[in-house]
Structure 1
Amino acid sequence: MSLGASVASIGLFTSSFMFTSAMLAPKLGGLSDKMGRKRVILWGLLGDVIFGTLTGLVPSWHWLLLIRTLNGAVTAAATLPAEALVIDHTPEDRRGEATGFVTVCGMIGRSLGPAFGVRSSQFASSTRLSLVDSYRVPYFVDAALAALAMMLVAWKIKEGRRVTRPPLGLPAIKKRKSVPIPISRSLKILFLCAFANGIALGFVMPISVLFYRDKFGAEPVLIGFIISLSGFIGLLASWIGGRISDRLGRKPVIGIGGISSRLAGMVLPLSLDLNQATFFLALRSLGFNINMPAMQALRADIVPEEARGRLFGLYRASFTWGISWVL
């Protein structure tokens, strides 16, 4: 609001970011199928560096909205091919473990990110920067981290799929137009499940905050602790759930995690006290995070390699549309 944005317009920043990310995810994933994962990831990280820096320099909230909208596209370019690249490098019998591990890493980053951003802003404020300028500093830090990630990817990451290119000095051979790969019924069901999971995630968490405040009179600090605790429990479950799905099969783990999560969500409003509500929220998080790696590994098992990026993008878009639908 320090840039002149109204309270009503603040939601546009999140929705615009998610909209462009969801819309372009299939296209960017398909691009990584044709040009290689590493190249698209590097483009996305370069975009993060540029737009992260520009975010710290914006003069008004209108410019901030435009940059956040564009940033959604480059973030999808950086993260979506990375998901496909993980599967490219992972044996089939360890896909659940790999997706669970990546999920854990992402959750750790999302948990530490806000605290890291606040600390960098507070440090900037202590150096006699104005309040508005101190809010800009975390975006410069974000751009620096993206630059570091870009260097690491360029230096250490190997391309997972073989990308054919013509020899130097020879013209490219004109290829026939690729035949579209049909989407199987199993994949359509997975897309529907991703959409439903997005709705569940986007709906329950904001409502939980109001529920704890209005029914039990919990203070914001306590509510944040409860949500963080449930997230930490889910964090531990992701990697374990992925490993179990490699051994017992994807569908049993998906069923156990999904059913337990939904049942806990149904019982949560009936909690008699704060302890019960915390338990059911943690149980819901546990089931949800057991379900997700197995679901993503099943997606990897079903998707043909030559269309992995594009179909992963459709899956990501389905999940994001589910979240956006209830916001």
Structure 2
Amino acid sequence: MHTSSRGGLTSLSLSMLLASLGTSIANVGLPRLAQTFDASFHAVQWVVLAYLMAITAVIVSAGRLGDRLGRKRLLLAGLLLFALACGLCGVAPDLHGLIAARVAQGLGAAIMMAMTLGLVGDTVPAERTGRAMGLLGTMSAVGTAMGPSVGGMLLSVWGWQALFLVGAPLGLLAAALAWRYLPADQQRARPAASAGSSLKAGALCAGLAMSALVAAVIMATFVVGPFYLSLGLGLPPESMGLAMAVGPCVAALTGVPAGQLTDRLGSQRMTLAGLGTLLGGALLLSLASGLVAYLGSLVILTAGYSLFQAANNTAVMSGVESARRGTVSGLLNLSRNLGLIFGASALGAVFARATPDVVHGTVQSVTEGLHATFFVAAGLMLLACAIARWRGVDRTHLLTR
């Protein structure tokens, strides 16, 4: 790969890492923030919620703005805003100031997330798109996984301010790399609509729907998993934390190989393979009993997620005109966020219905709740497989027109 491509991909990877790290690094500091500002849990949880809500609210608009003003230009603005907001978080005089700074940080992160996927097509050769998508997926998983551990270390050594200040120099570094290595923005004429573009849009929409369904299933592991590990298996907190880290670690290890397979075998085939693996993992979780069975099923489920993400993101972004990549990248990230929300609420409700008293739940009731949740999750994966098959038929029809 050319030096400029490597440097540009490094800047995109660091941008994705920082945006994901911002999601999880603050969680470990909530008890300290509650003590520092003499605030309730419901008050300090807005330090996390404000960041997530800002991303969800503006990520599609950020993508559209990037298409209009230039994706490199907007990414630089997003990185600088993110770095500035990190500094403001670290010097916030009260909880309200911290929450306001987190909103600004979330706005910068939304731009970063939308522009990273949108800029892949401008940065790496087409035949290496899958690998780049896999790498970005790995960075997202690494950022989410390392947040609690890195945050705990920073919190113990330098205090809660370090949770946010660490993002400022890293954001500036990513901005410097982006300015140096990403290709300059070019004026792009918006293509006229056609029957072919309508069919492509339908196959784009399919990718967004599948992304939301898969994200919902993955979110169920974070919502239901802790209850099963603690109440169903009786694991102490430190062991439960290690078990919860298995999924993100598998995603980090399998992201790049998944991208390489996508480049070699094609996005449609690998999308189906990823969904099939996800289906198998969900079915195994709907039958799992014991720690070994649970973790083995989780490894399969997460490996399928990595494969699906690399393949589906490649399929979605490669089928989009250059002038609309920012918008579609924003929609792709939005679909994932909505899927996470749906998984937390709907699949969480399935677990709650199957386990009415989770506080005093028995091993049997919690296990039954796990099984019921992932039986429904398997149904969602069957639906996603049907959508993937339809997308493949639709694209074949497009090529023969």
* TM-score grouping bracket, smaller chain normalisation: 0.7 to 0.9
Partner in structure 2 of residue 135 of structure 1: 160
| Map of 1:273 onto structure 2 | 290
- Aligned equivalents of 1:322 and 1:11: distance in 2? 21
Map 1:142-291 onto structure 2 (within 5 A): 142-159=167-184, 161-163=185-187, 184-291=201-308
- Pick closer, same or farther for the CA change 1:224–1:243 going to 2, 3 Å: same
SS in 2 for 1:184: helix
Query: How far off is 1:178 after superposition?
Result: 8.6
Residues 47 and 273 (structure 1 numbering): CA distance in 2 closer, same or farther, change over 3 Å? same
Which amino acid is the alignment partner of residue 317 of structure 1? L
The Cα of 1:238 is off from its aligned counterpart by 1.6
> Equivalent residue for 1:20?
54
Q: Which residue of structure 1 lines up, in the alignment, with residue 386 of structure 2?
A: none
Partners of 1:15 and 1:324 within 8 A in 2: no
Match of 1:38 in 2: 72
Instruction: Give 1:51 shift.
Output: 1.0
Please say if residues 87 and 168 of structure 2, whose CA atoms lie closer than 8 Å, have aligned partners that are also in contact. Answer: yes
8 Å CA contact 1:231, 1:282 repeated in 2: no
Alignment equivalent of 2:334, drawn from 310, 314, 317: 317
Deviations 1:108-166 (A, max 9, x none): 33333432332222222xxxxxxxxx11122112212212222222233333x5237xx
Asked if structure 2 preserves the Cα contact closer than 8 Å seen for 1:4 and 1:60, the reply is no
Judge conservation of contact 1:43–1:78 (CA < 8 Å) in 2: no
CA RMSD of aligned residues (A): 2.3
1:59 match: secondary structure: coil
Q: Report percent identity of matched pairs.
A: 21
Query: How far off its partner does 1:99 sit?
Result: 0.6
Asked if the contact 2:258–2:310 (Cα under 8 Å) also holds between the matched residues in 1, the reply is yes
CA positional deviation for 1:286: 1.0
Match of 1:297 in 2: 314
TM-score by length of 1: 0.85
Report what 2:28 is aligned to: none
1:57 to 91, 105, 118: 91
d(CA) in 2 for partners of 1:63, 1:149: 26
Residue aligned with 1:135, SS: coil
More off after superposition, 227-236 vs 188-197: 227-236
The CA distance in 2 between the partners of 1:72 and 1:138, in whole Å, is 15
The correspondence for 2:145, drawn from 111, 114, 120, is 111
What letter corresponds to residue 157 of structure 1 in structure 2? L
**1:84 equivalent in structure 2:** 118
Unpaired segments of 5 or more residues in structure 1?
Answer: 125-133, 165-174
Aligned to 1:5, the other structure's residue is in SS state: coil
Q: Does the 8 Å contact 1:55/1:136 carry over to 2?
A: yes
Q: Which has the higher contact order (CA 8 A, sep 6+)?
A: 1
1:18 and 1:324 in contact (8 A); partners too: no
CA 1:13 to 1:265, structure 2 compared with 1: closer, same or farther past 3 Å?
Answer: farther
- Asked if the contact 2:123–2:182 (Cα under 8 Å) also holds between the matched residues in 1, the reply is no
| Alpha-carbon contact 1:121-1:137 (below 8 Å) kept | yes
Q: How big is the shift at 1:295?
A: 0.6
